[in-house]
Amino acid sequence: MAEEEKETKQEEIAQEEAVQEKEVQEKVRIEEPEPVVSKRVGSIQFSVFSPKKIKKMSAAKIVTPELYDKEGYPVDGGLMDIRLGVIDPGLKCKTCGSKLKECAGHFGYIELARPVVHIKFVNLILSLLKSTCRGCGRVLIPENKIAKAKNELDSIERESGIEARRKHIRIIISNLKTINKCPHCKSKQMKITLEKPTTFLEAEKRVNPIEIRVRLEKIPDDDVFLFGMNPKYIRPEWMVQTVMAIPPVTMRPSITLESGERSEDDLTHKLGDIVRINQRLFENINAGAPEIIIEDLWDLLQYHITTFFDNSVAQLPPARHRSGQPLKTITERIKSKEGRIRHNLAGKRTNFSARTVISPDPMLKLNEVGVPRIMAMKLTLPERVNEWNVEYLKKFVEKGPTEYPGANYVIRPDGKKKKITDETKEASLEELQPGYTVERHLLDGDIALFNRQPSLHRMSMMCHRIRVLPGKTLRLNPAVCHPYNADFDGDEMNLHIPQTEEARTEAEILMEVQTQLISPRYGLSVIGCVQDAISGNYILTKMLNFSREDAVDVLIHSGVTDFSNLSRKEKISGREVFSALLPSDFNFTGHSKFRDDKGNDRVVITNGKLIEGVMDRNNLGEGSGLLLRNIHKRYGKEFTIQLIGNIFRLGIEVLLRHGFTSALSDTDLPEDAKNKVREVLDNARHDVDNLIAQFKEGKLDAFPGKTDAETLELKILELLNKARNAAGELVTNFADKNSHTMIMALSGARGNLINLAQMAACVGQQALRGRRIDKGYHGRTLSCYRKGDLRPDARGFIGHGFKDGLQPAQFFFGAMTGRDSLMDTALRTPKSGYLYRRLANAMQDLKVEYDYTVRDASGKIIQFAYGEDGIDVSKSEKGTINVKRIAKTVGAK
């Protein structure tokens, strides 16, 4: 781990340099076009800096903790020395002569008065000290066994990494029993322990860093290899620092506050402490101060250097600002979610994007997205000026950034970007000519990508066309909620504006809503009617009749303009109105969710006329039924989304005119039915009492493999379930099929018959973990019941309906299961989300090749035919090929 930290640090430096180089290169390219020299990285070696290397790469030796002189100019040999790079505009770097932003900065160094252990290497140092001789420095493995140990260690490193290798050295040594006596020089070994964070003890006595360094120096190169280090790059003694590298000022810039005061970076503060203490230590040593004072200062230096690398070492109090907030030093810069890696390198942020709350607008087309005007005036689209559109684009520039539709920027052919303001407007307008680019506001019909997290699907990010609307939310057609898994209880969604012609084309061809219609998971439409749209079409096709005028009116209001398919009769049935949307040569036979009194659920469409049956969730809903699938196959995607939009609007328009409300009286039962429900429940209670009596007398026949008590539970559950179902059936039979609550349940728009029965008759048994409620008090569920009471009411059976109201105990049982299921979902969602993520990451580069094999990125075969049958689910009917239908259609031609 210790090395990794150093590595990342070095990588970072390398990266900064690379960026710098690139910028320089680009500069050169613009000034004088030169052939680009490209080189390939051959290999990368990670290592530890030797004191020699640190001095060699350094631009300056730092000797004073002062930063600036009286004029505010950086002090020579101070921490802000201009040989380490510049952060003030105007100054030039003394080392490379470049200005601010051109010079990447240079390292400096300080000579430490006494060596100091590097915190990131203490574990490695400990392992080295423990495994080597204190006298001769050799590994505590006899000469003849070294080769064997090396092989063993190599194989362990291959399997479980370098950490495991270092651990295993100790195991080998303790197995060889050479731990007490060196097999090479026969000197006696002592026990070495680490007193965290940085103090080493040998037989309870302190070993100071000088002695540690001496011991590490003694380890011969050949033995260093055993620890998985190459002594050419890492010598053990380098892990005890004698010289410390000072990072360039460019990675710890100071900020000038409004008051003109300078505020230094945390790292500079820490380095100041180090230099100051180091100076004092030098002075004290030279003055021959007593050993105690020197040791104290030495410890202090160790503390400062440790916290410079890592300010969150468990055993050390973190170094703090005067305000009391801990300093952010090197490790904190890299580590964790806010660190360089996860925040800056792996974090993805983008321009030309927007995010707000979403709300529904069924009057939008399915592939449109409503964008608030404020957004449309901030998000822009670059449009290249040519001789045919100069005048057109000039109009945008003229309006400027404050008036819609205007433009925010003009880009000159040399890449200079100019903001349009009231002052620059005239000049920009003047110079605008072919070759320029105008960043204009969004207009209706522009392309955008629309996304809702979590993006688990390819349908979670689709391409929509923009409609600029008043208001402050992003608007979408409720029919496309399903693929995004969105609702409007406060959901937010993201919008991205592709900036190049290629990106827009790609989005349009591959990602537009209509191209995502058929799900690759189950081969049916993922977009369909929801809620009111289903209720509306159900009512329309089941019971409505219109005069011709009204029919035309309804259709017009739902966006239909072509009435050629509408029946010419004076009286037009709802089915005929619906049929007006269908193409006149469409034939279909399917099943509806609704069944009439004879149990008939057929839906027949012949020549574009709905002849028989009603439209409900089974045919209009998302992910169900083949109606939409078949239309898509015959008439294509464009037609299908337009049709879904029309059906949707027709549904809600009908509902609007017809009136629709879910009334309390919908759950009213006639006296007759109420008595029957009561009878059913009473009978059930009576039966359960009988069972309990049998159980108590020991006369109950146990199921095989179950105890008597378990059998009783099962039997009771079964009985009560039956009773609830019987009550539900009664409710269904007695309820008015044309009440709006029933219409919703029957058409599949919302709710089901069980919900209705729970409201009207009986909520039913509350179950915790698949059993009746049996927890709470000792031997009973609530204090109002006797111990060992097994009757339904005492174990969470709710015999009342929601409308009648619940008894306190019943309400409590309901709350118990309610809370349990809430907990359950709260715990399960992140778990299953993580599981899904792991699958998605493991399979993200799998791809079906042209020979139908599924292969990974390296061309290895995973599956010989996709899904083993080679069928594209989205191009078939639920993953099967209906040969009969194909034969039929081919024959027809």
Angle at Cα 435 formed by Cα 431 and Cα 439, nearest 5°? 80
Least distance (Å) between residue 760 CB and other proteins: 42
Residues in a beta bridge with 62: none
Query: 66: which 2 tokens?
Result: 């002062």
Residue whose structure tokens are 């490695």: 124
Does 851 bind other proteins (CB under 8 A)? Our answer is yes
Q: Which is nearer to other proteins, 203 or 857 (CB)?
A: 857
Angle at Cα 176 formed by Cα 172 and Cα 181, nearest 5°? 115
Q: Which is nearer to other proteins, 782 or 871 (CB)?
A: 871
Least distance (Å) between residue 854 CB and other proteins: 11
Side-by-side strand order, sheet with 240-246? 60-61, 108-117, 240-246
Binding segment for other proteins among 89-97, 504-512, 729-737, 869-877 (CB under 8 A)?
869-877
Does 835 bind other proteins (CB under 8 A)? Our answer is no
The phi-psi region of residue 36 (left if phi > 0; otherwise alpha if psi is between -120 and 50; otherwise beta) is beta
Query: 64: which 2 tokens?
Result: 């004073």
Q: Which is nearer to other proteins, 405 or 520 (CB)?
A: 520
Q: How many Å separate Cα 506 from the centre of its chain?
A: 24
CB contact burial 874-883 (16+ within 10 A = b; e otherwise): beeeeeeeee
Does 867 bind other proteins (CB under 8 A)? Our answer is yes
CA distance 419 to 410: 6
Least distance (Å) between residue 153 CB and other proteins: 21
Q: Which is nearer to other proteins, 289 or 871 (CB)?
A: 871
CA distance 458 to 444: 25
The correct pick among 598, 860, 884, 893 for binding other proteins (CB under 8 A) is 860
Q: Which is nearer to other proteins, 347 or 870 (CB)?
A: 870
Closest CA to 558 of 530, 536, 590, 584: 536
Does 865 bind other proteins (CB under 8 A)? Our answer is yes
Least distance (Å) between residue 300 CB and other proteins: 57
Least distance (Å) between residue 753 CB and other proteins: 32
Query: Binding to other proteins (CB under 8 A): which residues in 475-534?
Result: none
The correct pick among 553, 853, 874, 877 for binding other proteins (CB under 8 A) is 853
The correct pick among 142, 231, 318, 879 for binding other proteins (CB under 8 A) is 879
CA distance 532 to 362: 11
Alpha helix ranges (H) inside 544-626: 548-557, 574-579, 617-620
Q: Which is nearer to other proteins, 561 or 858 (CB)?
A: 858
Least distance (Å) between residue 850 CB and other proteins: 11
What letter would DSSP give residue 662?
-
Q: Which is nearer to other proteins, 142 or 520 (CB)?
A: 520
Does 876 bind other proteins (CB under 8 A)? Our answer is no
Side-by-side strand order, sheet with 437-441? 380-384, 437-441, 407-411, 417-419
Binding segment for other proteins among 40-48, 303-311, 409-417, 853-861 (CB under 8 A)?
853-861
Q: Which is nearer to other proteins, 391 or 868 (CB)?
A: 868
Residues in a beta bridge with 381: 440
Give the number of other Cβ atoms within 10 Å of residue 630's Cβ.
Answer: 18
Q: How many Å separate Cα 368 from the centre of its chain?
A: 25
Does 845 bind other proteins (CB under 8 A)? Our answer is no
Binding segment for other proteins among 89-97, 405-413, 423-431, 863-871 (CB under 8 A)?
863-871
Q: How many Å separate Cα 478 from the centre of its chain?
A: 24
Binding segment for other proteins among 401-409, 420-428, 444-452, 857-865 (CB under 8 A)?
857-865
CA distance 427 to 399: 14
CB contact burial 439-455 (16+ within 10 A = b; e otherwise): bbbbeeebbbbbbbeee
Least distance (Å) between residue 115 CB and other proteins: 49
Residues in a beta bridge with 348: none
The residue count for binding other proteins (CB under 8 A) is 16
Least distance (Å) between residue 878 CB and other proteins: 11
Binding segment for other proteins among 431-439, 583-591, 753-761, 866-874 (CB under 8 A)?
866-874
Kindly list the distances between the CA atom of residue 110 and the CA atoms of 247, 293, 329, 468, 664, in Å, as whole numbers in the listed order.
11, 22, 18, 62, 83
Binding segment for other proteins among 300-308, 455-463, 526-534, 865-873 (CB under 8 A)?
865-873
Helix (H) / strand (E) containing 676: helix 671-697
Binding segment for other proteins among 611-619, 643-651, 736-744, 854-862 (CB under 8 A)?
854-862
Least distance (Å) between residue 886 CB and other proteins: 19
Least distance (Å) between residue 857 CB and other proteins: 12
Query: Binding to other proteins (CB under 8 A): which residues in 227-266?
Result: none
The phi-psi region of residue 541 (left if phi > 0; otherwise alpha if psi is between -120 and 50; otherwise beta) is alpha
Does 868 bind other proteins (CB under 8 A)? Our answer is yes
Q: Which is nearer to other proteins, 786 or 860 (CB)?
A: 860
Does 805 bind other proteins (CB under 8 A)? Our answer is no
Does 862 bind other proteins (CB under 8 A)? Our answer is yes
Q: Which is nearer to other proteins, 646 or 853 (CB)?
A: 853
What does the binding site for other proteins look like in residue numbers (CB under 8 A)?
Answer: 851, 853, 855, 858-862, 864-865, 867-871, 879
